[in-house]
Chains A and B, each alone.
Chain A
Amino acid sequence: MSQPERLAALPSLPRDADGPVFAEPWQAQAFALTLQLCEAGRFTWSEWVETLSSVLRDAGPDDGSRYYEHWLTALERLSLGKSLTDRAALDARTRDWAEAYRTTPHGQPVEFLPKGVSRET
């Protein structure tokens, strides 16, 4: 399936004549991550469309502003379903990133460091 065909298969994708549009950077990140996982053969595009459709259906009517929230929920669900990662690791990592953003002094680049590794000074 070519990329335009893949995109055409997506339900209610926010787009204009030139392709998908994003309101915030993280949306394009989630979008690119999904495309790459599919290209790497981690799941098929029809599996993705099925998962996304099911999440959108469960979410009920929506004006489109939460589209990429649902997209991300679907991507997490499919990644877990395919055992690409697991729930505990995902929750722990989300907490770690939140912690890193909160505790990094302003003016320092925010990096996530695995436990037990100290920041270079």
Chain B
Amino acid sequence: MALRVKALESLLVEKGLVDPAALDVMIDAYENRIGPRNGARVVARAWTDPDYKARLMKDATSAIAEFGYSGAQGEHMVVVENTPAVHNLVVCTLCSCYPWPVLGLPPVWYKSSAYRSRAVIDPRGVLAEFGLAVPDEVAVRVWDSTAEIRYLVLPERPAGTDGLDAEALAALVSRDAMVGVAKVPGLTP
């Protein structure tokens, strides 16, 4: 199905019948219709419930399915955790390999050739362009999604959020943080 849409779209774009930029804007407008909020709830639960986090790290597909979020057959989710020593970044060479049950539709930049090729070659440079400077002593790991395995980054819980419940925490977690191109900002007192 995805290939049939792609074929029709690319033919119409080539003939100038469809403006690809306007099409991306429109798709972007719908991306929250699946929405990264699902992923944010998973992250917030992992921050507040150690047992859940253990299940999530062991078998992300099942732990995410506890929320009722599950995808097409054969889809396999893996959660990678950011720590003070490791920063994780997710990329995919195929635009469809994105954990849409938890993150919605991929943003335009995620599908761009530039991101897809450069995230692997120069992840620190790409992160810097997103405004995220990763110190040299922190390792950057790049996870290349496949049709079988899709990754979700578990960001670090920001300081100063001890008093927040899962719902308030989920509101802090952005899509970009779960792809690994941003951190979850701390609360400004």
User: Real complex partners, A and B?
Assistant: yes
Cross-chain contact B93 with A104 (CB below 8 angstroms)? yes
Interfacial chain B residues near A25, Cβ < 8 Å: 2, 27, 95-96, 98, 100, 105-106
Whether a CB of chain B sits under 8 angstroms from the CB of A118 is no
Whether a CB of chain B sits under 8 angstroms from the CB of A4 is no
Whether a CB of chain B sits under 8 angstroms from the CB of A84 is yes
Task: Give 20 A-B pairs besides A24-B100, A28-B27, A106-B93 with Cβ atoms closer than 8 angstroms.
Answer: A20-B30, A22-B30, A22-B34, A23-B34, A25-B96, A25-B98, A30-B5, A69-B1, A84-B17, A85-B15, A90-B8, A93-B11, A94-B3, A97-B6, A106-B144, A107-B144, A108-B93, A108-B117, A111-B113, A112-B10
Which residues of A16-37 have CB atoms within 8 Å of chain B's CB atoms?
18-26, 28-33, 35-37
From A104, which residue of chain B is reached at the shortest CB distance?
Answer: B93
Cross-chain contact B4 with A31 (CB below 8 angstroms)? no
Interfacial chain A residues near B27, Cβ < 8 Å: 25, 28-29, 32
Whether a CB of chain A sits under 8 angstroms from the CB of B171 is no
Q: In the assembled complex, how far is the CB of residue A96 from the closest CB belonging to chain B, in whole angstroms? A: 8
24 residue pairs of the A-B complex, CB under 8 angstroms, read A21-B33, A22-B105, A25-B2, A25-B27, A25-B96, A28-B30, A29-B27, A33-B5, A36-B18, A36-B19, A40-B17, A40-B18, A42-B17, A69-B1, A76-B4, A76-B8, A79-B12, A85-B8, A85-B12, A94-B3, A94-B4, A101-B94, A104-B93, A107-B120
Q: In the assembled complex, how far is the CB of residue A119 from the closest CB belonging to chain B, in whole angstroms? A: 11
Cross-chain contact B94 with A33 (CB below 8 angstroms)? no
Secondary structure of the B contact surface, majority rule: helix
Interface size on A, residues (CB 8 A): 44
Partner of B12, one of A18, A31, A33, A68: A33
In Å, the complex CA distance between A69 and B1 comes to 7
Greatest chain A CB density within 10 A among B4, B11, B19, B144 is at B4
Interface string of B116-150 (1 = CB under 8 A from A): 11001000000000000000000000001010000
From A33, which residue of chain B is reached at the shortest CB distance?
Answer: B9
In Å, the complex CA distance between A90 and B113 comes to 24
In Å, the complex CA distance between A19 and B93 comes to 31
Whether a CB of chain B sits under 8 angstroms from the CB of A59 is no
Partner of A26, one of B10, B34, B96: B96
Secondary structure of the A contact surface, majority rule: helix
Binding site for A on B (CB under 8 A): 1-12, 15, 17-19, 22-23, 26-27, 30-31, 33-34, 72, 93-96, 98, 100, 105-106, 113, 116-117, 120, 144, 146
Assuming the contacts A25-B2, A112-B10, asked whether A36 and B93 have C-beta atoms less than 8 A apart, the reply is: no
Assuming the contacts A25-B105, A33-B18, asked whether A97 and B3 have C-beta atoms less than 8 A apart, the reply is: yes
From A79, which residue of chain B is reached at the shortest CB distance?
Answer: B8
Whether a CB of chain B sits under 8 angstroms from the CB of A89 is yes
In Å, the complex CA distance between A29 and B98 comes to 15
Partner of A37, one of B18, B72, B146: B18
